[in-house]
Structures are given as structure tokens and as C-alpha cells.
Amino acid sequence: MVAEGKGAPDFSLSGIDEQGNEKSYSLKDFKGKNLVLYFYPKDSTPGCTQEACDFRDNMARILKGAAVVGVSPDSIASHKNFREKQSIPYPLLSDPDRKTALAYGAYGEKTMYGKKSMGIIRSTFLIDAKGVVKKAWTGVKVAGHVDEVIEAIGK
């Protein structure tokens, strides 16, 4: 698990940029600006769609202080389709081997409907301009989460 006040793990992932083009990203690409890095389980599922759209609908407020990037194990083709359907205006990165999610503590055992399984734990990290984790949320509940993130960006 990534701790607040500690350096964020670097990553190198391919994904879809704001225009729908395939591109590779690393943490270094965001040096000098705050980054909201959020991990979600699966494209086009109800909770993940709501979360992505909440970030989308609040981009004007978020961009005043940070960039946004979503990460899931889905393929680049899935991300492209999801981005197009939902008009997602920020990069969606593919972490098929879940190594980046694991490095951030966003992959592990979780319980859904009383059943334990391994999977992506919905998590968000606010990383400052120097690459330090300013705030970490794990086991995120979608409703109201974006407002919490925006409040933390402003501090």
C-alpha cells in the first residue's frame, strides 16, 4: 500500500489519450503538476462508468489543480470504446498484468456480495508535482468521491 507523504511508484503503461490515440505514459510525464491517478475494476460497468463520468463532468474544477488518469486491467481496445461511448476527456491506461495496481495497493483480496476474490480495489491517489502521494483513498465509494478529490486538490 502506498503511504501518504511517500513517493509514488513509477509506472509505464500504454493507454488511450484524450483524443483516443494510443500512447505510453509514465509518472514522469506528470512531473511539475498534481496528478489524480485512479484505479477502477472494469470499463463499461455501472460503478466504473459513474466514476469515470463524475471525473469527466467535473474536469473544469479538477484541471485548475491537477491532471486525471484512469487505470484498469482492460485492454486498450476496451478503453478506446469506453472513452468514445462516455466522452472521457482524460487518459485511460491499461494495466493487464496488474503490476501497477499492485504497486499502489489497488489490487488484492476484496469481498463482493459476501464472496472473497482477488481484483482491483477501487482506489484514488493524489500525487503532487514532486511525485509524492498527497492523499490516498482505498475502497472508494463512487458517490461523492470526486468532491473529496477536488477538496484535497485545493489544500
Domain annotation covers residue 4:
no
Question: What's residue 56's pLDDT?
Answer: 97
Domain annotation covers residue 3:
no
Domain annotation covers residue 1:
no
Domain annotation covers residue 62:
yes
Domain annotation covers residue 122:
yes
Question: What's residue 110's pLDDT?
Answer: 86
Looking at the predicted structure, is the pLDDT value of residue 147 above 90? yes
Number of domains the chain is built from? 1
**Which residue is catalytic, options 2, 27, 36, 48?**
48
Is 53 an active-site residue?
no
User: Is residue 112 packed enough to be buried (19+ CB in 10 Å), middle (13-18) or exposed (0-12)?
Assistant: exposed
- The residue range of the domain holding 51 is 12-153
Tell me the C-alpha distance between 79 and 146, whole Å.
21
Handedness of CA 60, 6, 1, 104 (dihedral sign): positive
Domain annotation covers residue 112:
yes
Looking at the predicted structure, is the pLDDT value of residue 94 above 90? yes
Residue 36 is part of a domain; what is its CATH number? 3.40.30.10
Q: Are 51 and 145 a contacting pair, CB within 8 Å? A: yes
Tell me the C-alpha distance between 91 and 36, whole Å.
11
Domain annotation covers residue 99:
yes
Looking at the predicted structure, is the pLDDT value of residue 114 above 90? no
Domain annotation covers residue 72:
yes
Pick the closest to residue 89 from 57, 131, 113, 61 (CA basis).
57
Average pLDDT over residues 25-30: 96
